[in-house]
Amino acid sequence: MALHRNLQRMREANGLRQHEVSAALGLTRAAYANYETGIRSPKPDTLRQLARIYHVSVDALLGDEGSAGERERLLITQYRRLAPETQTHVLKLVEMEADLEQTRRKETRSDLTSTSLVPSCRSSCTV
């Protein structure tokens, strides 16, 4: 998947709007929108900032972590090899991690919207 599609997908997955991400990066919304449309590519420092905002690696932004299908198949294969009681523990662990990730994403959204970079845009800006 191309970088621009990954940026849009990750922004949406984190419940963020373009103006929130652009403000956190110190860019205009239009400049950030150019990244998501593929018109421009972010500089390496900006990629690192985006990776922190989205809680992923730069490789994940670039789509260089291998296909999700391969990783998912490996995970399922390994899971099926586990004893039933261990499968239960693994499922609980995954649920806890998913809950933590959701909390981190909400906190990121809260941090981005509470910065002094965004206040005038809260109710009037749309993406």
- Taking only the tens place, the pLDDT of each residue in 20-73 is 999 999 999 999 999 999 999 999 999 999 999 988 888 888 887 555 666 777
- Concatenate the DSSP letters of all residues of 37-62 into one string: HTSS---HHHHHHHHHHHTS-HHHHH
State the pLDDT at residue 17: 95
pLDDT tens sequence across 94-119 = 999 989 988 888 887 777 766 544 44
Tokens at 107, concatenated: 């906190």
How much of the chain is in helix, strand and coil states, percent to nearest 5?
Answer: 70, 0, 30
Q: Which domains does the chain have, with CATH numbers?
A: 3-120 (1.10.260.40)
Count the Cβ atoms, other than its own, within 10 Å of residue 96.
10
Enter the pTM of the model: 0.57
What is the C-alpha to C-alpha distance for residues 120 and 110, in angstroms, rounded to an integer?
A: 15
